[in-house]
Amino acid sequence: MGIDLSVDFGKFKLQNPVMTASGTFGYCDEFDAFLNVRNLGAIVTKGVTLEERPGNEGRRIFETTGGMINRIGLENVGIKKFVNKKLPELKEKGINFVLNIAGSSVEDYIKLSEICEANNIAAIETNVSCPNVKSGCLEFGTDEKSLYELISRIREVYNGFLIVKLTPNVTEIERLALAAQNAGADCISAINTLKGLGVELNFNGTKISKNFVQGGLSGRCVKPVALSMVKRIKEVVNIPVIGLGGISCLRDLLEFVAVGADAVQIGTENFTNPDIAERLTVELAEFIERQGFKDFNNLKEELRK
């Protein structure tokens, strides 16, 4: 019998605490060539909107020290194609998943949530924190009253496991976390990307050309910020917290658990080490056994003493 890594969120259960972050892992089995997706705790789908979106024009990715800046702009297939094509594949292959949803208005989120409820989607993650779209998302995630209203409305039409993904681009993330909890959220995930700017300079003698890429900063460089935010959130809420931001090895995962994360999501690291999520589940089980802990819950308890 192997080490028990399970995480029980009540409405939603994970076989282990390792998830993948939205926008870094596709919709279903795009990473099958690198790992067995069914061995992960869950995948979080690429953000889905009511209508299909082409995303932003121009350069979308800028590599920077310790991470990357993206301005993809929520390119996605739309909820109709997801339900008709991606959802059957997820269910047929037995992949545990969370559907990430994003909108430009309260009505968008309500309609998306109603569709999720009608299709028995067990868990959704509301994206109220994307900094690289022109309207919606971040507008809800930076104002506690707007966030409370939005999550309350979603809760009226959706009975499944409701995760709210918070932005670090605020002064008091605790107020946002409490607003989400008080409105009926089952879980908080943090953090989404930081606002960042990439500057590309090219010199030809005295002539200079420059290009700016403004979007969301992610990767190893954001980990200290993410750890701080997760700790601050956990100190004020009594619902589970999923931590993400710069996780690239087992020690990173353990640090997030130590500051309050009940599960983690792997994001940018998937692009350079596409098998990282499955590898971490194996390393976590080996670590627990080697150190003499009973199971993941026992390790979590000891890390938080």
Q: Which residue in the list 116, 130, 187, 221 is annotated as catalytic?
A: 130
C-alpha–C-alpha distance, residues 33 and 20, integer Å: 16
Query: How does DSSP classify residue 48?
Result: B
Residue 130 known to be catalytic: yes
Rounded to 10 degrees, the C-alpha dihedral 128/87/110/237 comes to -50
CB atoms within 10 A of CB 235: 11
Torsion sign across C-alpha atoms 162, 99, 129, 277: positive
C-alpha–C-alpha distance, residues 18 and 157, integer Å: 28
Quote the tokens at residue 264: 């983690």
C-alpha–C-alpha distance, residues 208 and 76, integer Å: 36
Nearest of 235, 251, 233 to residue 243 by alpha carbon:
233
Quote the tokens at residue 114: 């109603």
| Positions marked active-site | 130
